Amino acid sequence: MTTQDPVSAQAALEQEIAQLIIDTLNLEHLTVAEVAVDQPLFGDGLGLDSVDALELALALQKHYAIRIDSDVKASRKHFATVASLAAFVQEQRSACGD
């Protein structure tokens, strides 16, 4: 039985989330490779807005069966980059025993 290296598991989750962002927000002009994990999702980065954040939060909750609180300050931190989103999803999954 082999277990996945935590670093490669994180990288795989980051790629999966980047694809989810592309699919959910209809960003077909982008590829996963073009979405840097440390690129800001809002502002000068990908240029997402608050409506995009809401759509993405709903997609993440559905896809990963996690709960995202409406605490704006915490959400802003979690939704900063693909890497921070992946860390948040992993944290939520671990808390749920997944």
Q: Is 28 among the domain residues?
A: yes
Q: Is 52 among the domain residues?
A: yes
Q: Is 1 among the domain residues?
A: no
Q: What predicted TM-score, i.e. pTM, was given to this entire model?
A: 0.88
Q: Is 44 among the domain residues?
A: yes
**Cα separations (Å) of 63 from 21, 58, 66, 93?**
12, 9, 8, 12
pLDDT digits (tens, 9 = 90+) for 25-58: 999 999 999 999 999 999 999 999 999 999 999 9
Average pLDDT, the chain: 90
Here the tokens at position 94 are 């671990």
Residue 66's domain spans which residues? Answer: 6-95
Tally the domains of the chain.
Answer: 1
The CATH number for 40's domain is 1.10.1200.10
Q: Is 60 among the domain residues?
A: yes
Residue 95 binned pLDDT confidence (cut-offs 50, 70, 90): confident
